[in-house]
Chain A
């Protein structure tokens, strides 16, 4: 590892800057990547990570400074050009064509042809070679829309190996992967390191930094703050560098005052079989966690309690009232709210103002309307109050949702739970893709709701959230509740042991 050549910068930026009208997204960044290292980029949403990788991948052109590859200044005019140099990026949003096969997607833009006629046999052979070298078990003729998200990610990574790979850029690759798939990805990364590929890796997850990172670079407000050794830097230090302030403990201490049961599910079974015979209960003034792998049914269960997925059997008791066929509308009227995990797909109306996104679930009630007509003033006043409380940046409630950063979009959605007094709120992955600063604000806000007497359900794939915030935990496996843990029994080993197989009958 410590041969002399390894220390020479392999891909380097010198005073790299990128200006968008009104915004300096990247400001004089000197970044160095060595051969065979995993270099983590760390920073809040909007710190410039995405801008930096888009420049390195050739998707955007810098406004100033230069990029050096193997010591020579290069102009990366397009993604294609960057790929010719062996620099490939796997972005969060996949660039796959769902109706095409794995092979067609991998070779898209570099089809094997002779005299303008496609050569499917040749193409298939080449793709098989790529997949084999990566040890991906994928059928080249499978259509991409039939694959799981992790498999799609594999296809996306395989695309990078069409030509010789020198630099691989991964943007939050584990955000939607299951535990097993993450391990598989880390194996691939380890193999790539041995081959001398430099890897730039963006993540918000603290655990991953120490597990696979060699060095870590912290960005803030478009500037490079520091580059450190990833193995020896403490979490507190990194968070402080990232936010530029003392965040203190990420997780607040919560006073649980459990009162009467507010939400109860009784033998809940969803029509699609994603939730099987689940019974659980939530009291006022406590946070109940739903843990499990992605696809284990924890999220489906939250939706089922809210009436967002059709039920085949079982019922919901809410505030003493029984619902055998709940619907989101009736549950909201009765005081239960579910906040989805995917703010873009299911949470926000992107082209509508922040104000409307916050008030949408409560328009029938005071102060938003007087029963018949909406009250513009009442709405603006209430929404402004909630935006202040969640420290919305920029604090402009008539700006459209799409023009807020990811973390602030999340705040817009969460603020919906403030618009009326809900008796129980179900949070589905409330901090996915959100930086630590926003995360702290969200936890503080959940704590406040809970201490004010609401029952909280926290659905999360982030183990540390479950460990630090909940009073009781239901662990899901294949649509069923595997175990209910409480108090001192909530620890990582206990939860993980129930993630996979049933221990005892």
Chain B
């Protein structure tokens, strides 16, 4: 009861500061620093404005997916179907767009609009099913999203027969894939807008606060008048919506509809969140850190590419980083107990 009065910092000042930064911000700042130093030493091209902008652009897709994934983690679940959502969105969006464009070659913009809507809608439907299962039938998020990952992937392959979908208007790729505005690639604007919207929702609206409440203690949230089922439902719908937008952007970049994209997304998005300090037990996590987490993963792959590390080895590094982040989270919890204030 009187511990605050008896506080006597005895540990040395420096290690205390490092400990406090670690407890407050998690492992991410340390990892970022280490990565930047190592890759700068390994490659002259790494620490240049052009390359860093490149990292930003490459990380856009993962950033958007990770923001959605964070919502699932906040409520104490996760979504393993984000990769499938990317694939299904890409295939459906491309098919719709190519079909309309073939029928009405003059209405390129109409085709792009309807195609994007169709693709995002198709991807979001996976989230709707996930949400209904998790919120209203209490299926564990693990089983639900794993099952839907298979369903979605199957549909995407069935629709295309496994071959890429061509025939989209050239403008689509030119603008949303390779376009630039004021020297900055367009996908970055989309990601930035989504990140700001997510930040605003989570910190400035009651609805956003409810994601933390449901993950913090779902019974307490219910007894406090939070519509917990609705929150869980929207968690998976929003997550899928974010993944679907990423799917459309990636389609624009590839200029084809592909059923084989996004396979690494579930792991990478969860890794980005965990590295950014989102708790796997739910209730803790900040969107601004998740953006940094996704950028960090982008930075590492970019750095490894520049340093000519083989892509097979890169997956090893990614998996190891994920485990390291979880271990660091456990250590952090131990420190939190010793540094109560």
Question: Contact residues of A with B, CB < 8 Å?
Answer: 20-24, 44-46, 221, 306, 308, 328-329, 331-333, 338, 340, 345-352, 356, 360-361, 363-364, 368-369, 372-374, 376, 393-394, 396, 399, 403, 405, 416
Contacts and interface: CB of A to CB of B under 8 A. Distances in A.
A160 B204 CA distance: 53
A44 B1 CA distance: 9
B283 interface: yes
B216 interface: yes
A4 B42 CA distance: 81
B6 A346 contact: no
Nearest to B339: A21
A332 B224 contact: yes
B283 A393 contact: no
Nearest to B230: A329
Nearest to B212: A352
A356 B220 contact: no
Given A356-B209, A364-B206, A348 B217 contact: yes
A230 B224 CA distance: 42
B221 A349 contact: yes
Contacts of A373: 204-205
Nearest to A44: B1
B14 interface: no
Given A361-B225, A369-B206, A350 B216 contact: yes
24 contacts: A20-B338, A22-B3, A22-B7, A22-B8, A22-B340, A22-B341, A328-B224, A328-B225, A329-B225, A332-B224, A349-B283, A351-B284, A352-B213, A360-B224, A360-B226, A361-B225, A364-B206, A368-B206, A369-B206, A374-B209, A393-B1, A396-B341, A399-B340, A416-B224
A437 B279 CA distance: 35
Contact of B223 (A20, A338, A393, A394): A338
Contacts of B6: 22-24
Nearest to B217: A349
Contacts of B279: 351
B2 A356 contact: no
Contacts of A20: 338
A299 to B, nearest CB: 13
B340 A405 contact: no
A350 B227 CA distance: 19
Interface string B2-15: 11101110000000
B220 A349 contact: yes
Contacts of A46: 1
Contacts of A369: 205-206
Given A23-B3, A221-B1, A374 B224 contact: no
Contact of A340 (B212, B223, B281, B341): B223
Contacts of B219: 340, 345-346
Interface of B: 1-4, 6-8, 203-206, 209, 212-213, 216-217, 219-227, 279, 281, 283-284, 338-341
Contact of A360 (B8, B205, B213, B284): B213
The 3 closest A-B pairs by CB, nearest first: A349-B216, A332-B225, A363-B206
A103 B219 CA distance: 33
Contacts of B216: 349-352
Contacts of A399: 340-341
A329 B213 CA distance: 14
B213 A374 contact: no
A360 B221 contact: yes
Contacts of A331: 225
Nearest to B5: A394
A246 to B, nearest CB: 18
Contacts of A340: 219-220, 223
Contacts of A306: 223
A351 B333 CA distance: 11
A308 to B, nearest CB: 6
A221 B5 CA distance: 12
Contacts of B213: 349, 352, 356, 360
A279 B139 CA distance: 37
A364 B208 CA distance: 12
Given A328-B223, A363-B209, 17 more contacts: A22-B340, A46-B1, A308-B222, A308-B223, A329-B226, A340-B219, A346-B219, A350-B217, A351-B216, A351-B279, A351-B281, A352-B212, A352-B283, A368-B206, A369-B206, A373-B204, A396-B341
Contacts of B217: 345-350
Nearest to B340: A403
Most-contacted residue by chain A among B1, B203, B205, B219 (CB, 10 A): B1
A54 to B, nearest CB: 15
A372 B1 CA distance: 38
B238 to A, nearest CB: 18
Contacts of B205: 369, 372-374
Nearest to B219: A346
A219 B127 CA distance: 56
Nearest to A25: B3
Contacts of A356: 209, 212-213
A348 B1 contact: no
A44 B226 CA distance: 34
B2 to A, nearest CB: 6
Contacts of B226: 329, 360
A377 to B, nearest CB: 12
Contacts of B281: 351
Given A346-B217, A350-B216, A351-B284, A329 B1 contact: no
A328 B225 CA distance: 5
Nearest to B281: A351
Contacts of B222: 308, 328
A221 B340 CA distance: 18
Nearest to A369: B206
A52 to B, nearest CB: 16
Nearest to A19: B6
A354 B341 CA distance: 13
A119 to B, nearest CB: 38
A221 B205 CA distance: 41
Contact of A351 (B1, B3, B283): B283
A347 B216 CA distance: 10
A331 B226 CA distance: 11
A445 B217 CA distance: 26
A204 to B, nearest CB: 16
B115 to A, nearest CB: 33
A329 B209 contact: no
Given A22-B7, A350-B217, A374 B204 contact: yes
A328 B222 CA distance: 7
A360 B1 contact: no
Contacts of A360: 209, 213, 220-221, 224, 226
Given A22-B7, A22-B340, A374-B205, A348 B220 contact: yes
Nearest to A364: B206
Contact of A347 (B204, B220, B227, B338): B220
Contacts of A338: 223
Most-contacted residue by chain B among A345, A368, A373 (CB, 10 A): A373
A345 B3 CA distance: 26
A351 B216 CA distance: 7
A241 to B, nearest CB: 16
Nearest to A394: B4
Contacts of B341: 22, 396, 399
B293 to A, nearest CB: 19
A356 B2 CA distance: 23
